[in-house]
Structure 1
Amino acid sequence: MTPAAKPVSSVAVIVAFATVYIVWGSTYFFIRIAVHEIPPFLLGAIRFMASGLMMLAWCLVRKEDVFNRKTVLHASVSGFLMLFIGNGIVIWVEQHLPSALVAILVSAAPLWFVLLDKPKWRENFSSRNTIFGLLIGFAGVILLFYEKITAAIHGDAVQAGAGALALLMLGSATWAGGSLYSKYHQGDSSTTVTSAWQMLAAGIAFMPGSVIGKELGSFNAAAVPADAWLATAYLVVFGSIAGFSAYVWLLKVRSATQVSTYGYVNPVVAVILGVVFAGESITVIQVLGLAIILGSVLLINLSKYRGTKKAAKTQLSNG
């Protein structure tokens, strides 16, 4: 008889969700500051190499098994898919498409989670609340950026056309696929060890892109202002070490569909930060979009909570 799994603290889950929701939402703001002074692929290499090495050093101090071959392999695959291809495509496409269009397509990630999570197809597609929540959440994101999207479509900004849009959809799907790979290939290593190797794999993968793009030749570290370095430090410590580690841990203890709701909440946080710190205005349509998004996340989480509670009762009655 196998021992019962240790119950997960509700407080820990709430803190992890808050970290992913709020911290990742704030990274849009800090990426904009950092990438204005640091070339995009070099920024990715610095961010993920620094965070990965710091976490690996911490694991060594704690005397964890950091060189487990299976962990390194699976973490490298998922890290490459999520952090290099997923994030790398977003970085590249933002040179050609307005950020509003990018935000819409990135927010399609929760839909990709449902489509690609084959082991959970029966559960997800049989839940009306989950499907309805995902659809209205995506509609809320469209409302949130409706005015910017309309301006972009009628302006001269969209020159990259279908190619860039297709790449962005690929990036969103790759992020979801990498997340699911991470969930179903967890191994025995801790979340810290797994996250460290995922970040290191991505950081290494960003380096050839920086070389090919000749970013190093034109980069002068001494000329980068302090606010850009502080923004990069924020991305390393909070965006990667805290945010990404919380995300990987949530994939272990909660359903992928539930965790994927970050894709709807992050734009909400980004808009609010823009209003508070960048002096941006917010319209009635955006407020409506915010309300719809938050309602959809509540609906999805309520559906998953009820399913978990029902499963627990069934297990208790059978035990």
Structure 2
Amino acid sequence: MSKHAIRTLLACLVVYVVWGTTYPAIGLMLTPPGGQGLPPFLATGGRLLAAGVSLLLISQLSARGRATTRQLTRRQFSAAATTGFFLCFCTAALVAGAAQRLPSGAVASYLATAPIWATILLSATSRSLPSLRVSIGLALGLTGVVTLSGSAIAPDTTGVLLALAAAGTWAFGSWFTSYSGHIPHHYGVAGGIGQVTSGIGLIAVALARSEHVDLPVPDVSNASLIAFVYLTIVSLTGLTTYSWLLRNRDPLIATSHAFINPLVAACVGAVALSEGLSLQLLLAAAMVGFGAFLTMPMTRRRQRKRTTPRRDAPTLERSS
């Protein structure tokens, strides 16, 4: 197996399995069973800021990372910050809100509709109607959402809307990452900028909401703190890994994590948080996942039309 194939396999493992565990981890960080959790915006901003600073520091250990930082243009910084705004600031804030209202499996199922929203976005920007297969996928995925929304599993309308909005911002951020030719070549620098700017923004929101005033530090549970550390580590590796897949592999591979994450989240949530694992939840997750799968050929076909590489398009960093 080639080095590139091994790298792809490890990247898929991160976005397939590890990301699935983040949904119950977010619930544990914010609302641990029988304990005091961390404030949503302060905790989310803190972990993104810590991960982003770590990424930037690690990137300076390599000559390419230092060169990328020295040669960073305002346009590249803006592109990296824009990616972070949609993938980190918006999505993380919305997921944090949804995780306080819905079970982990339900949140992950709604987030799994991101490929569906991406397909709608591509249809709008290309001014073309989706194929029959893609239309069936859209209908099946939306049926899964309705099934989940109308059940006792996800009774909170606000939580549902927050999770669906998170899927929309994730879809737009993924589309921007895949098509932008101005994101810095070095993934540590690009990911670090996105997470630092998003973390600072979320902490500013937390301060405006006076979350720091109501933070009972001595009462915060150990489970919540452990989840915070775990999510920081995942933030350190997850976005960089996902960006690498989007920019170096077929988008089908990167976005297919949507099929696996809900099942992982539901199973881990049932074990770690004693959340219900019902047949209806699994059925809704399956419908959303398969619906997203049917929309994938359209996403892949649009990507293949970009046969002429941009002069400033990102390239895979070679390891020394």
What range is the shorter-chain TM-score in? 0.7 to 0.9
- From 168, 178, 181, the equivalent of 1:183 is 178
Query: Is 1:247 matched up with 2:246?
Result: no
2-structure distance, mates of 1:284, 1:123? 37
Residues 8, 114 of structure 1: alpha-carbon distance in 2 compared, 3 angstrom cutoff? farther
Alpha-carbon offset, residue 15 of structure 1: 2.4
Sort the Cα spacing of 1:165 and 1:35 in 2 relative to 1 into closer, same or farther, 3 A: closer
1:122 CA drift (Å): 8.4
Which residue, out of 213, 225, 231, partners 2:227?
231
- Measure the CA separation in 2 of the matches of 1:173 and 1:305: 15
- Indicate yes or no: 2:113 matched with 1:117: no
> Structure 2 counterpart of 1:200, which letter?
V
Deviation larger for 38-47 or 272-281: 272-281
Match of 2:140 in 1: 136
State TM-score, norm by structure 2: 0.75
1:271 matched to 2:266? The reply is yes
1:92/1:275 CA distance change after superposition, 3 Å? closer
- How many corresponding residue pairs? 291
Query: Is this contact kept in 1: 2:95–2:166, CA < 8 A?
Result: yes
Task: Give the Cα separation in 2 of the matches to 1:139 and 1:181.
Answer: 27
Residue matched to 1:215:
211
Corresponding position: 1:174 with 2:169: yes
Distance 1:277 1:291, change over 3 A: same
Cα separation, partners in 2 of 1:210 and 1:248, compared to 1, 3 Å: same
Once the two structures are TM-superposed, the CA of residue 208 in structure 1 deviates from its matched residue by 1.4
Q: Which residue does the alignment assign to 1:58?
A: 58
Counterpart amino acid of residue 82 in structure 1: L
1:57: how far off? 0.5
Deviation at 1:93, TM superposition (A): 4.9
CA distance, structure 2, for counterparts of residue 193 and residue 142 of structure 1: 40
Residue range with higher mean Cα deviation, 215-224 or 40-49: 215-224
Give 3-state SS (helix, strand or coil) of 1:117's partner. Answer: helix
Q: Note if 1:148 corresponds to 2:152.
A: yes
CA 1:121–1:212: 2 relative to 1, 3 Å: same
Q: 1:248 to 1:131 in 2, by over 3 A?
A: farther
Q: Summarize the alignment of residues 10-21 of structure 1 with structure 2, pairs less than 5 Å apart.
A: 10-21=5-16
User: Displacement of 1:297 after TM fit?
Assistant: 6.4
1:251 is displaced (CA, Å) by 1.1
Report the CA distance shift for 1:55/1:137 in structure 2 as closer, same or farther (over 3 A): same
The offset of 1:43, in angstroms, is 0.6
CA-to-partner distance for each residue in 1:284-305, whole Å, 9 max, x for gaps? 444444555665566667x589
Question: Quick one: distance in 1 between partners of 2:149 and 2:170?
Answer: 22
Shift of 1:255: 4.1
What corresponds to 1:316 in structure 2? Answer: none
Unaligned runs of 5+ in 1: 1-6, 312-319
Is contact 1:71-1:189 (8 Å) kept? Answer: no
User: Contact 2:91 / 2:169 at 8 angstroms: preserved in 1?
Assistant: yes
Partner of residue 314, structure 1: none
Unmatched 5+ stretches in structure 2:
32-36, 306-320
Q: Pairwise CA RMSD of aligned residues?
A: 3.6
Task: State how far apart, in whole Å, the 1-side matches of 2:28 and 2:248 are.
Answer: 34
Percentage identity across paired residues of the two chains: 24
SS at match of 2:152: helix
TM-score (norm 1): 0.75
C-alpha distance in 2 between matches for 1:101 and 1:287 = 9
1:196 pairs with 2:192: yes
Q: 1:260 is matched with which residue: 255, 278, 285?
A: 255
The answer on 1:34 being equivalent to 2:29 is yes
Match of 1:49 in 2: 49
Q: State the alpha-carbon separation in 2 of the partners of residues 227 and 271 from structure 1.
A: 19
CA contact (8 A) 1:25 1:269 kept: yes
> Per-residue displacement from partner, 1:242-289 (whole Å, max 9, x unpaired)?
222211111112344553333342221111112333444533444444
Q: Which amino acid aligns with 1:148?
A: A
For residues 79-116 of structure 1, give each alpha carbon's deviation from its aligned partner in whole angstroms, at most 9, with x where no partner exists: 01221122213333555x54476555433311111122
Tell me if structure 2 keeps the 8 A contact 1:53–1:200. yes
> How big is the shift at 1:201?
1.2
Which of 53, 71, 79 is matched with 2:84 structurally?
79
1:66 aligned partner, one-letter code: T
46-55 or 30-39, larger mean C-alpha shift? 30-39
**Displacement, 1:241?**
1.7
CA shift in 2, pair 1:92/1:297, >3 Å: closer
Q: Aligned AA for 1:49?
A: L
Cα distance in 2, alignment partners of residues 288 and 168 from structure 1 = 18
Q: Choose the corresponding residue for 2:95, options 90, 99, 110.
A: 90
